[in-house]
Each structure stands twice: as C-alpha cells, then as structure tokens.
Amino acid sequence: MAVESTAPGAELEILYDAEAIARRVRELAAQISQEYQGRPVRLVGILKGAWVFMADLVRQLDLEVTVDFLSFASYGDAAQPSGIVKITKDLDQSIAGQDVLVVEDILDTGQTFEYLRGVLEAHKPRSLKAVTLLDKPSRRVRPVQADYVGFTIPDIFVVGYGLDYAQKYRNLPDIRVLRAKM
C-alpha cells in the first residue's frame, strides 16, 4: 500500500485505488440494473459522503432513474458517530409508491441507517433497498444490512472518494485509511 503524509500527526494509506473502485461500481450497477430491469428507480443519496459514489453509480445504471438527496448528521467533526441523528436536508419530492434505492457511502454502527430506513418507510415507497460503498459490520450496534455492498472493511477510519474527516479529504480519487502517527 502506498503511504502519503498529510497534516502533522496523520498519514493516509491507500485501501482501494480508483481503478478497483470503478470496477466495483460497474459490478454493482450491473447487478442493480438486472434486478430493477424495466422499472424506474428513485435513487436517494445520503449527503455528504455518498455523492461521489452516487454520481459514478448513476452513470453506470442501465435504468430509468431519478435522484434526490437526504442529509443526516451523526458524526460532526469526530471520527466516531455521536449517537444522535438529525435530518439536515429532507427529500425534495415524494417517494410514495416508488421503487427507492438508498445510496450510502458507509454502513457503520447502523444507527443512522436504521433511523433513515424508518424515515423513508414512513413515506410509503413501493420498495426500499440500499446500496453502500463500504460496509463495516464489526461496528454494528443495530441489526441492519445493505442489499448491495461495494466493499466490506474492518474497523478502520477511511477517507476519500466522498468520505471525509472534519470535511477534509473528500476529493481524493481513492479510499484511504486515515491513521494517527505515533
């Protein structure tokens, strides 16, 4: 793994390079396109982390799609979820009676995802599924899972490809492990 120094006290190691991510996004899109074949799908991206993944995914889907976004806050500027989830941006249009695919950057403790699922189910979609770029099942405190998973990762803190630490590193083209230097 390549290592790149960043701010004093931290370093970044590449976990998945841009090529591996692009390949996995194409595979997920093919699987999703096959499952939803002939049906329009509403993609609901979870801001801010999922926008890069969602942009790449939507361009690979062979489906009629519309998009919307939700934003939840649960991390703040911390590396650990706070346990408090709040909506900071709601849907712009109704999802009632539609096939909805939630696009997440990372499924971690499951607290935000469980809350999100409840919020969206209250809108009475025809179906509700989720795709996540990263799944971290070792940290799960709620019994939730995504229907489609890009990569399963251990309990590490990752940035890049839309994921951040204190709003930094979203622009990296790959997914990197953020480690504190000792």
Residue 116 DSSP one-character state: H
- Between CA 168 and CA 103 the distance in angstroms is 21
Catalytic residue among 56, 105, 108, 135: 108
**Residue with the two structure tokens 């999100």:** 116
Residue 93 DSSP one-character state: S
User: Biggest alpha carbon distance in the chain?
Assistant: 54
Is 108 an active-site residue?
yes
As a whole number of Å, the CA-based R_g of the chain is 16
In which element (H, E) is residue 10 found?
Answer: strand 10-16
Order of strands across the sheet with 3-5?
3-5, 10-16, 175-180, 158-159
Q: Tokens in use for 50?
A: 């999922």
Query: Which active-site residues does the annotation give?
Result: 108
